[in-house]
Structure 1
Amino acid sequence: MQISTRFSIAVHTLLCIAYFSPETKVTSAFVAASVNANPVVIRRAFGQLKDGGLIKVEKGVGGASLARPAQEVTLLDVFRATESVEGDLFGFHAHPNEDCPVGRNVHVVLDEELAAAQAALEDRLAQTTLADLLDRLADCRAREDAEAPSGA
């Protein structure tokens, strides 16, 4: 199983918005250049993030801004805004064979594990904020600056 790229694109989008605004007008075209994706993909991400209450978008070429401080936006918020998972993260095949000892008991032996895995994912995503990622980005930039050849 793989979570779609919507989540990572949305996080990338939020990082661009938080990092570059308000000095730069952060539009879908601007973010698309960073993500290396079509602006239509970013406009879709903008829509999901806006619907999730994470960003504000001005009409036209007004650009996007965070709807709340970066320290109040968790990765779980982004996940919930972008991934169309309602209820259980793990799907379960319909109608296991009740005449089979495995089929009739598969839910009993597996449901708790899947619920625990989903809870662990959600707990971990809830621990990291956009501000945490911005701090890590600042550390990356500081390392790049320190490693850059002088006079370049």
Structure 2
Amino acid sequence: MGANSRLTIAVHALTWMEVHRRQGNEISTSEQIAGSVNTNPVVIRRLLGELQKAGLVESRRGAGAGWTLSRELESITLLDVYRAVEPGVLFAMHRSTPNLECPVGVGIQPAMQEIYDHIEETLRAELARTTLVEVMREVLSGAG
């Protein structure tokens, strides 16, 4: 199974939008963002749609169409972005009920759920500690 890059792409897009804004550009197009991410604009539009539902970006239609940030990067955490693009749980149980007559089958779900709950709680706490402005500063300090 491959790793999921949706959080990384979403953070990339939002950070790029702020850098683009600071360069004097009021709006960003999905084509421009896709050029930075090096992906198809359709992928970016889908992701921006999810970010819009979460209140992180706004879209403009008509002349001058494009996207803007709804909030300052200082007020957006990695957890906000994660929740917008990864609404489900990190780990899931069996799709069907395991054999409850088996000593492993009867106890695997409760045992794993406790572990998964702890991992999710730790992940969310770590993501909540970092704002996108911190990510942007780190990105720009490495960009030379």
Q: Report the TM-score, using the length of structure 2 for normalisation.
A: 0.89
Counting only pairs closer than 5 Å after superposition, residues 1-150 of structure 1 correspond to structure 2 as: 4-21=4-21, 23-24=24-25, 25-60=27-62, 61-85=64-88, 88-93=89-94, 94-141=96-143, 144=144
- In 2, the alpha carbon distance for the partners of 1:6 and 1:114 equals 20
Retained in 2: the 8 A contact 1:4–1:83?
no
Larger Rg: 1
Runs of 4 or more above 4 Å deviation: none
Unaligned runs of 5+ in 2: none
Amino acid at match of 1:63: G
Q: Report the TM-score, using the length of structure 1 for normalisation.
A: 0.84
Deviation at 1:3, TM superposition (A): 5.2
Unaligned runs of 5+ in 1: 145-152
- In 2, the alpha carbon distance for the partners of 1:137 and 1:48 equals 23
Deviation at 1:106, TM superposition (A): 1.1
Retained in 2: the 8 A contact 1:97–1:104?
yes
Q: Secondary structure at the match of 2:67?
A: strand
Identity %: 37
- In 2, the alpha carbon distance for the partners of 1:27 and 1:108 equals 46
Amino acid at match of 1:82: V
Larger displacement relative to structure 2 (17-26 or 126-135): 17-26
Alignment root-mean-square deviation, CA: 1.6
Deviation at 1:58, TM superposition (A): 1.1
In structure 2, the CA distance between the partners of 1:11 and 1:29, relative to structure 1 (3 Å rule), is: same
